[in-house]
Structure 1
Amino acid sequence: MAVRHRLIARPPAAVWDVLGDASRYADWVVGTRASEPAEGTWPEVGSALSYTVRLAGRDLHGRTWVRRCEPPRALELEADSGPLGTARIALDIRPWGAETLVIMDEHPLRGLGGRLHNAVLDAAQQLRHRGMLKRLARLVEEREPAATSGPVPHAPRARP
């Protein structure tokens, strides 16, 4: 299972604005060349995007469905990459002072990805997730100006 996190210097609502924008999906999902709405209204549960990825010189087409949506705290997706199988991608969006901690958890569900799942593939997923979270942070931070107040200071500890 590949789990990765990143602190984004904006509030959860700003992160959700990007995750909830179907037109930005290919901008932050590493490997995705293009995406477009396919079913329903993104990111409502049951809605889907179709996407294209380039792998070994070939275009592969897939679909990603929303399985859980709790704005602005959680988004769970199921990506179906055809012959590569399906995967669950969960994004946990937590307030962290004036910032947001995003935790991404992905693991295969069915198909070739599930049968071949191993530590080497998890390591490759870690690299991909690092790139995805970096792209997501950049999009969020470009979309919304930084707050002028800075990070929330830590409360002083009471002395015994």
Structure 2
Amino acid sequence: MLSSTIAIKAAESAIAACRKEGYGTTVTVVNPEGNVIVVIRSDGAGVHTVQTSFNKAYSAVTLANNHNLDTTSGILASMQAKGANGVGIWPMPADPLRGITLFPGGVRLMSQGKLVGGLGVSGTPVGMIDEGCALKGRDAILSDL
């Protein structure tokens, strides 16, 4: 189980990592069912980052986990490696699924081989920077899991 105390520590660590790079971000941590444990929006984070950070965390516990991947950036690469076409020509539902995104910046949180949650970061100009901050947030709590 991922406690709120550990979730807050992960979120604060991810925010600090992005702040060190000069970016204001929002971090969301969800449980394995995709329910929000904590959301922290730092100074300077855009209004859209709240929903986007949730989408990244949610996608980490659904899509990334289903593909046995640690990050949301791996989802697209994994699908393309299996023969799927690039974004824009994928068969997507007319009404997108709530919370699903293929943007980098989401990481799954594992404890002893079991999924305990997902962490999503949004607010930098490049998704891979979001992901780097998310990984730092995850790494900050590895010993607590």
TM over 0.5: no
Higher relative contact order (CA 8 A, sep 6+): 2
TM-score normalized with structure 2 length: 0.34
Would you tell me which structure has more strand in proportion to its own residues? 1
Between Structure 1 and Structure 2, whose CA radius of gyration is higher?
1
Structure showing the higher helix proportion among its residues: 2
